[in-house]
Amino acid sequence: MDEHSGFAAKIEPTLVEALARLAAEAARSILAIRAGELDVRVKADGSPATAADEAAEAIILAGLARILPGIPIVSEEQAGREGYCSAPTFLLVDPLDGTREFLAGRDEFTVNIALIVDTRPALGIVAAPARKRLWSGATGRGAERRTATSDWEIDTERSAIRTRKWPADAPVALVSRSHLDERTSAFLSRFPGIKTESSGSALKFCRLAEGTADLYPRLARTCEWDIAAGHALLAAAGGAVITEQGVPMRYGQRDSGDCYVPSFIAFADPAIASRVIAT
């Protein structure tokens, strides 16, 4: 048995707090770099990266090595250099999710940190630097939202959050601002009267978790580090993330050993998931 396999059953508030503070430190560094001249490079997959991505990653990797020593870390920028690894327990990090939104001057970018235990997301932290918001969720401990100060201190306003039941009228679906595809649009056409809103990064999971939206389908390829923290948050708040085949999303199981997720559907109300998949 993996020595860390008990994490899912005994995640302590101190661990959630330590990871929240680490995400806040990364958020602070991103905003500091955003205020200056941005150095943009294009990665091998065609996506952009900036000094802010790299600075946030360096902060997070150093902090995780201190907080959870010995646990493997898969981070977006690091994976591009070292490849992808999977283990019974590991960490998934996207130091700056929504780089395109960041470069466009929008506030829809996040810092994502997730702890995976036995293929399931057990803990997730999502921070929105420009919005001064941080969300956290952990197995057995529920989910909460915090409001940060202007210099990203997080010892201020905080409240428990919970998903909502599927509404009888005008449910809200969230779609990617930068990656909406035809298959996702066709899936949404199955819901007469549904209201569609565009958003960037893991903020879509946060909207579902705090009860202001109902559905987030992404029927196009994405990476595990893009969704794991949001998945953990949403599950802790009462929601679910499934594959197109209707089974729970798992991590670190790709046959090819890579980080790619072919598609997923996130629900605020898990009760509706089986009905949707069956139709």
Domain boundaries, the chain: 5-161, 172-278
CB within 8 Å of 232: residues ≥ 6 apart: 114, 115, 121, 122, 123, 124, 137, 138, 139
pLDDT greater than 90 at residue 142: yes
Neighbours of 223 (CB within 10 A): 20
Residue 216's pLDDT band (cuts 50, 70, 90): very high
**Per-residue model confidence (pLDDT) at position 80:** 54
**Per-residue model confidence (pLDDT) at position 94:** 96
Note every long-range contact of 36-40, with CB atoms under 8 Å and residues 24 or more positions apart, other chains counting: 38/103, 40/103
pLDDT greater than 70 at residue 3: no
Residue 86's pLDDT band (cuts 50, 70, 90): low
Does the domain formed by 5-161 have CATH 3.30.540.10?
Answer: yes
**Per-residue model confidence (pLDDT) at position 43:** 72
Does the domain formed by 172-278 have CATH 3.40.190.80?
Answer: yes
Share of the chain above pLDDT 70, in %: 90
pLDDT greater than 60 at residue 148: yes
**Per-residue model confidence (pLDDT) at position 83:** 53
pTM over 0.85: yes
Neighbours of 40 (CB within 10 A): 12
pLDDT tens string 21-33: 999 999 999 999 9
Residue 150's pLDDT band (cuts 50, 70, 90): very high
Same fold, 5-161 and 172-278: no
